Structure 1
Amino acid sequence: MSGTPERVHAFGDDALGDHDAVGLVEELRAGRVSRGELVAAAVERTRRLDPVVGGLAAERFDVAAQESHKPHAGYFAGVPSFVKDNSDVLGLPTQHGTRAFEAVPAVADGDVARVFGLLGLTVLGKTRLSEYGLSASAEPVGEPPVRTPWHTAHTAGASSSGSAAFVAGGAVPLAHANDGGGSIRIPAAVNGLVGLKPTRGRVPSDRMNREMPVKIVADGVVSRSVRDTAAFLREAERAYHDPGLPPVGDVTRPGRKRLRVALVTQTLTGAPVAPEVVAATEDAGRLLESLGHHVEPASLPAPASLAEDFLDYWAFLAMAISAGGRRTWGRGYDRSRNDALTRGLAARGRSRLWRVPQAIVRLQRSHRHTARLYADHDVLLCPTVAGPTPEIGWLSPAQPYETVIERLLDWVAFTPVQNVTGDPAVSLPLATSAAGLPLGVQLSAARGRDRRLLEVAYEVEAARPFARIQD
C-alpha cells in the first residue's frame, strides 16, 4: 500500500502498472503480460486496498484465476474488473447493500454480467453500495463505510461506491456502475474518475431496472480515462445495440464541431452551491471557450416540480422494496432491519402514494424541457454535485431520516435530471477542492448523443489531464 495515512493507492510495479484498460489490452496483445498475471496482480491489489477503503462485497478470485487461462475473443479478454452488488453474477450473492435478508448465490449471470462476459472482462467479484442504492454515501450501520482512497476520512460517494474506490485506488482499471439518480457520476466525481451515464437503453440493465415505471437506471462503468469509457461503450454496442438509438461507434479523438454550451450553476430548488464548485464549473466553461466553443449561461432544463416528483418516486421505490421484500428475496426478509433512510423513504412513499401517478406522468414528460434546451445548445455544463466531498458520518443513515434526506437533496441537486429524461451525462474530474479532493464537472447532451459527450470529453482531457492519485 502506498500513499499517506489519508491518501492510499495500490499502484505499483506489477503487471497492471499504471495502465488503463485499453493500455492493458495493448500490453496483452504485445505479449508483455499474460491474462493470468493481470488477474493475480488485481487480486493482490484488491486484498491490500480493501481493508482501507472497504469496497468488496463478495469475491470469486479463484474462479477468475481459472477463467484467465481460458481463451476468449472479447476485446477486453483478461482485463480484471468488478460488478456492483445489485447485479447478478453466477455463483455470488446479490445483497443490494442491505442486512434485511441473506442473499443466496445467483443461479445465472444478470444482463450486465453477461455483457461483461461477452467483452472478455474477468470479474473478480462484487462491489459494495449504499442500501438498495438509495443514498449517495455507503455507510451501513454497524459495518465499515466505503471510503475514497483520495482521503479515507471522506465518503467514496454512492451508490457505485466500491467500484469507484477500487478503480481510483488502482485495483482494477474500470468497473461496473449504475446510475438511478447520479450513482455513476457522483462516485466518479468524488474519486477523480470518468463516469458516463449512457442514454437510457444504451447498455442492457438487469430485469428489476427494466420493469420500473420510470426507467431511471442506466448501467455503465467508472474508469480513469475517457478512452476506456469510449472503448467499453463501443464493445458493449457490438454485443447489444438498441435500434432506436444512433450508434456510438469507435470514438478515439475529439470532434471537430465547435459546440454551443449552456452553463448552469444554480439548482432547481435554490439549494446552495459551494463557491468552489461554482468556480470549478465556470473554469470548465472558460476552458471550453479557450478551445473554441461558445458558452453562455442558462437554467437547469427541468420543470419546477421535478425535485419533489423525483423524491416522491424515489420514496415509492423504497416503499415497493420494503413491501415486496419477502416476495422478491424470500420469507427471511425483515424490513425492520433496513436503515433509517430506507425506512423514512418508505414511510414517505406510503403517506404520499396518492401523488405518485401524476408524479410519474410529469417525470415521463420532463424530457420535453431538455429537448427545448438542446434545440439551441449542443451540451449542458453544470456541477456534478453541489458541494465538496463530505466526511464519513455526514450522510450516515444512523442519523434521523429528516437530517439525512435534507443533506442528500442539497448535495445531489444536479444529477437526477438526466435519470428522468434518459439523456446521457458524464462527470469529468476537471478540478480539485481546497482540501485536495477531486471535484467533478458534468456535461450532458440530448438523448442518443453519447458520442458527442465522448468527443468533448476527449478534448478537455487532452487540454487538462486528469489528476492521478499516485502523483
Structure 2
Amino acid sequence: MSNLQALQHIDATRQKELIDRREISSLELTRYYIEQIEKKNQNLNAVVYEMFDEALHQVKEGKIFDGPFSGMPFLIKDLNSIKGHPATSGSEMLQNFTPTQDDEIVRRFREAGLVFLGKTNTTEFGFLPTTEPTLFGPTRNPWNTTLSAGGSSGGAAAAVASGMIPFAHASDGGGSIRIPASACGLFGFKPSRGVLPYSMYMNHLSVNHAVTRSVRDSAGLLDVLKGGTSYELYPTLDQSSSFSSSLEKPTQKLRIAYSSDFGGQVEIDQDTRQALNQTVQLLRGLGHEVVEMDPPIDFSNFTKHFMNIWLAAGSVIIDHLGKASGEEPSEKNLEPLSFNVLKEGEKLTAFTYEESRVLIQLEVQKYLSMFREFDVLLSPVMNTTPKTLGSFQSDDIHSMHTTMMEYCSFTQIANVSGQPSMSVPLHWTDEGLPVGMQFTGQIGDDADLFKLASQLENAQPWFHQYKAL
C-alpha cells in the first residue's frame, strides 16, 4: 500500500481486508501503528507500556494465531494481565507486578490473531470515570487536551480516536466503555451479561469488550470473543448467531423510550440536551416510534446501594491484587481515594452488603418493567461534555461518588441489570466536542442494538469527524 496515511480513514475491518488481499502486510501495518504511537502518545499519554519489539518479532516470525483478525495491531487495557508483562492497574502498588499467564479475555484476543503493541492507561483499579492515575499521569482528550478522555478506559479511547491504533480493548463495570467512547467520539458497546465471561469481582457488574471507530469493528470483535467459560454464575446466552451478520439484516421499527433526567432526578447540560433532542428527531425520521418516558427507578436509592457494592468490591480487589503481587496495600503505595475505598470497604458489614445487593436488584426490577412496553431506552451517556482534567481530585469517597453520579448518571444501571448498552457518537458541539448517545436494550438483544447502531451510522456517519485529529 503506497499511502499508509489512508489507513486513518478506514476502519479495522477494512484494514484486515487489505491484509487478506495482500495490499498491505501485517508487518507494514504494525510498523505504521508503532510510528503513530511514537508520534502522538507524548501529547495524549494513552499508552503506558510498549511491546513494540515483541510485536515486530511475532509478525516477522509468523508467531501469531491464524484468527479472524490475524495480523491486526491492538492495545490491551492495563487492568488485565498479559503473560510476562507488567500489570499495574494504574497503581504504584503493582508497578513491579508481572503476571505469569494471560487473562481469559487476553487469551481470546490473542487467539483472534491480534498483535499486542502495548497497554493503555487507566485510572487506579478502574475506579473513576476519568483516567488520571498518579502512577502514569493523565490521559488527555484528543479533541481538547485540557479535558478528560473519560474512564476508566480513557487510554484506549484516546488511542483509537487519535489514530494510534484501529481499535482497542476496554472494560465496563459502571460505564467504563461507554463514558470514554462518548468523551472521545467512538462507538462503545457493553454486551449483555451472558455473552462474555463477567468478572468475578464487582458483583459480576464488569465486562470486557472494546472501543472502536465503526459499528462493524465492534460486532466483529464480539463474534470472536463471545462464549462463557466452564463455570459461569449466570447462564451463557445463545451464541449461535453472528453479530456481524446481523448488521446485514434490515432494522425493524422499534418502540423507543427516551429520558433526559430520570424525571427530574438528575441534570444535563445544554449541549447534551440538544444532542438528545436531535437524536429523537433522527430516530423518528428513520421510522421508529419514540416516546418520552422516565424509567421507574428511585435514582438516589439506586446510587446509595451501588456505592456500597462498589466499596465492598473495590476493597476486595485492592486486597487480592496486593496479595497476588506480594505488596501490602498502604497509604504509601495507593492513591488517597483508593486507600479510603479499601478501609471503608473493610468496615462494611455482611448485612449492609447483602441488603444493598437485594435492594438494588429490587430497584432494577422496577426499572426493567418499562421494557415490557419498549424495545430500547435512549438517554445521554454523560450528563455533560468532558470535564477539565483535575475535576476528580477529592479524596473523600462520598463527595467523589456524588461528583461521579452527577457526571455519568445514566451508565451504571445497565451493569446491574445486565442489559446491553452502547454509546453512539452522533453529535459534536460547536466547540468540536463529541457527545455520545446511550441506547440500552433488553437482555440478549445485542444483535438488535447492533442493527440499530448500524442504521444510525449509515444515516448520520461520524467517521469523517476523525479527520480533525
Q: Same fold (TM over 0.5)?
A: yes
> Which residues of 2 match residues 219-234 of structure 1 at below 5 A?
219-234=208-223
Shift of 1:171: 1.1
TM-score of the superposed pair, with normalisation by structure 2: 0.91
| Matched residue type, 2:292 | P
**Partner residue of 1:173 out of 166, 170, 191:** 166
Shift of 1:432: 1.4
Q: Distance in 1 between matches of 2:103 and 2:111?
A: 12
CA contact (8 A) 1:101 1:332 kept: no
Q: Distance in 2 between matches of 1:362 and 1:224?
A: 37
CA 1:402 to 1:238, structure 2 compared with 1: closer, same or farther past 3 Å?
A: closer
CA contact (8 A) 2:76 2:170 kept: yes
> Which residues of 2 match residues 285-324 of structure 1 at below 5 A?
285-304=280-299, 305-324=301-320
2:277: which partner in 1?
282
1:190: which partner in 2?
183
CA 1:261 to 1:254, structure 2 compared with 1: closer, same or farther past 3 Å?
A: farther
CA 1:91 to 1:15, structure 2 compared with 1: closer, same or farther past 3 Å?
A: farther
Shift of 1:237: 3.2
Shift of 1:62: 1.0
> Which residues of 2 match residues 78-97 of structure 1 at below 5 A?
78-97=71-90
Shift of 1:318: 2.4
- Structure 2 residue matching 1:153: 3-state secondary structure: strand
Q: Which moves more between the two structures, 441-450 or 388-397?
A: 388-397
1:341: which partner in 2?
337
CA 1:320 to 1:210, structure 2 compared with 1: closer, same or farther past 3 Å?
A: closer
Within the alignment, does 1:111 sit opposite 2:100 as a pair?
no
| Matched residue type, 2:305 | D
Shift of 1:240: 7.6
CA contact (8 A) 1:115 1:239 kept: no
Residues 258-302 of structure 1 show CA distances to partners (whole Å, capped at 9, x for unaligned) of 000010111488232112212211211111010000000111354
Residues 77-110 of structure 1 show CA distances to partners (whole Å, capped at 9, x for unaligned) of 1110111111111111110111123332221111
Q: Which moves more between the two structures, 51-60 or 412-421?
A: 51-60
CA 1:335 to 1:221, structure 2 compared with 1: closer, same or farther past 3 Å?
A: same
Q: Distance in 2 between matches of 1:433 and 1:345?
A: 36
Shift of 1:142: 6.7
> Which residues of 2 match residues 424-435 of structure 1 at below 5 A?
424-435=420-431
Within the alignment, does 1:36 sit opposite 2:27 as a pair?
yes
Residues 414-463 of structure 1 show CA distances to partners (whole Å, capped at 9, x for unaligned) of 10000001100000111112421100100010111110110000011111
CA 1:219 to 1:316, structure 2 compared with 1: closer, same or farther past 3 Å?
A: same
2:9: which partner in 1?
18
Within the alignment, does 1:330 sit opposite 2:326 as a pair?
yes
Q: Which moves more between the two structures, 57-66 or 383-392?
A: 57-66
Q: Distance in 2 between matches of 1:81 and 1:269?
A: 41
> Which residues of 2 match residues 401-420 of structure 1 at below 5 A?
401=397, 403-420=399-416
Residues 9-28 of structure 1 show CA distances to partners (whole Å, capped at 9, x for unaligned) of xxx84473422110111111
Q: Distance in 2 between matches of 1:42 and 1:204?
A: 29
**Partner residue of 2:467 out of 463, 466, 470:** 470
| Matched residue type, 1:181 | G
Within the alignment, does 1:203 sit opposite 2:196 as a pair?
yes
Within the alignment, does 1:246 sit opposite 2:253 as a pair?
no
Q: Distance in 2 between matches of 1:239 and 1:49?
A: 37
Q: Distance in 2 between matches of 1:256 and 1:179?
A: 26
Q: Distance in 2 between matches of 1:134 and 1:268?
A: 27
Q: Distance in 2 between matches of 1:82 and 1:244?
A: 27
TM-score of the superposed pair, with normalisation by structure 1: 0.91
Shift of 1:43: 0.7
CA contact (8 A) 2:246 2:451 kept: yes
1:64: which partner in 2?
55
Aligned pair count?
455
Q: Distance in 2 between matches of 1:331 and 1:95?
A: 12
> Which residues of 2 match residues 322-401 of structure 1 at below 5 A?
322-353=318-349, 354-396=351-393, 401=397
Shift of 1:254: 5.6
Q: Distance in 2 between matches of 1:338 and 1:267?
A: 36
Shift of 1:60: 1.2
Shift of 1:172: 1.0
Q: Which moves more between the two structures, 229-238 or 23-32?
A: 229-238
CA 1:15 to 1:96, structure 2 compared with 1: closer, same or farther past 3 Å?
A: same
2:436: which partner in 1?
440
Q: Distance in 2 between matches of 1:318 and 1:76?
A: 34
Aligned-residue CA RMSD in angstroms?
2.3
Shift of 1:348: 3.9
Residues 349-380 of structure 1 show CA distances to partners (whole Å, capped at 9, x for unaligned) of 34543521111122345552343111111111
CA contact (8 A) 2:187 2:214 kept: yes
Q: Distance in 2 between matches of 1:204 and 1:225?
A: 24
CA contact (8 A) 1:255 1:456 kept: no
- Structure 2 residue matching 1:345: 3-state secondary structure: helix
CA 1:294 to 1:94, structure 2 compared with 1: closer, same or farther past 3 Å?
A: same
CA 1:269 to 1:83, structure 2 compared with 1: closer, same or farther past 3 Å?
A: farther
Unaligned residue ranges in structure 2 (runs of 5+): none
Going by fraction, where is helix more abundant, 1 or 2? Answer: 2
CA 1:370 to 1:232, structure 2 compared with 1: closer, same or farther past 3 Å?
A: farther
